[in-house]
A and B are shown apart, each in its own frame.
Chain A
Amino acid sequence: MDKTTKADRILFITVIVIAAILFAFFRFAVGGTPSEAVVSVDGRVAYRLPLDKDTSVTVDLDGKHNVISVEGGKVRMSEANCPDQVCVHQGEAYPGGPIACLPNRVMIQLSGTSTANNDQPDAVIH
C-alpha cells in the first residue's frame, strides 16, 4: 500500500505517452479523407454507403434494429434498440473513431477508398 513509488510514476507516464502516440497513429496515419462508411453486421460487411449522398439504411436482423444515416458527409447511428444507447449518443464517426453497437454487433467505420465508384474511370483523357 504505502506511498507512491518511482515505479508508479514511470508506469503512469508510460501509459499516457503510449496513449498519445497511439492516438496520433489512429487519427492521422490511418486517416486520409474518408469517402464511404462501411457498416458491418455480425463481423461481415453489410453496406458501403458513399458519404456524398444523404441516405439511411436499417438493419433488422435477429431482433436487432439499427438505423445508420448519412447526412451532409457525416455518418451516425441514428437509432438502435440496444439497452445502453452508447452508439446513438456517440454522434458522428470520424477517421480512427468508429461507432460500435456492441450488443447488436453492428459497427460503422469510415473508409478512404470507395469501391462504389470503382467501376467508373478515375480520369478521362481526350
Chain B
Amino acid sequence: MNRTSQGVARRVATHAIFVTLGMIIGYMESLIPLPVPFPGFKLGLANIVTLVALYREGGKSAAVISILRVILLGLLFQTASMMVYGLFGCVFSLIGMLVLYHTKRFSIAGISVIGGVLHNLGQLTAAWLYLQNAEVFAYFPVLMVIGSVAGLVTGSLAKLLMSRLDKIR
C-alpha cells in the first residue's frame, strides 16, 4: 500500500468509528426519557463526537460525520419527519460551529453553545415549515437557554475526553 491509499484507509476507518460512536450515543440518549415535558429538551450528547471530530479531523470531516449519523439513525429508528427535524438541527448547528471554529476566537465551550442553540433553531425552522405555523418560534427563548446549557455540558465533556485521549497517544 502506498502512502496515499494508507491515508485514505485511515480516514475511512476513523470516520466510520466517529459515525458509529455518534450513533450509539445518540441512540442511548433517545432511550433515556427526560422528565421535562418540553419539545426539544435534550442534552445532545452525540455532539461530543462531532466536536472531537472537528478538532481532530477538521470541519469537513465533522460535517460529513454528523450528517451521516443523523441519516443513519433516522433510517434505523425514526420516522421520515423526525429525520428531517434532525437534519435541519444538524446543518444549522454545523454552520454555526464551523464559522466560530474558523474565527479562532472561541474555545470549545463557545462553539458547543452555539451548536446547541442553532440545533434548536434548525429544528424549529423545520417545525415551522412542516406545521405552516410560525408560532412554534414561541418555544425558542426557552430552547435557547436549554441549548446553551446543554452546549456547555457537552463542550466540557468533549474537552475532558480529548485531554484523556491525548494521554493515550
Name A residues whose Cβ lies closer than 8 Å to a Cβ of B.
1-5, 7-8, 11-12, 15-16, 18-20, 22-23, 26, 30, 40, 42-44, 83, 86-87, 89-91, 96-98, 100, 102-103, 105, 107, 109
Contact = CB atoms under 8 A, between A and B. Distances in A.
Interface residues of B, number: 36
Contact of A43 (B82, B85, B131, B152): B131
Given A5-B110, A43-B132, A107-B131, 19 more contacts: A5-B107, A7-B103, A7-B106, A11-B110, A11-B113, A16-B145, A16-B148, A19-B142, A19-B144, A40-B131, A40-B132, A43-B133, A86-B37, A90-B39, A96-B138, A97-B138, A98-B135, A100-B131, A107-B135
A124 to B, nearest CB: 34
Contacts, number: 104
Contacts of B144: 15-16, 18-19, 22
Specify the main secondary structure of chain B where it touches its partner: helix
Contacts of A18: 144
Interface in B19-43: 37-39
Contact of B135 (A3, A11, A109): A109
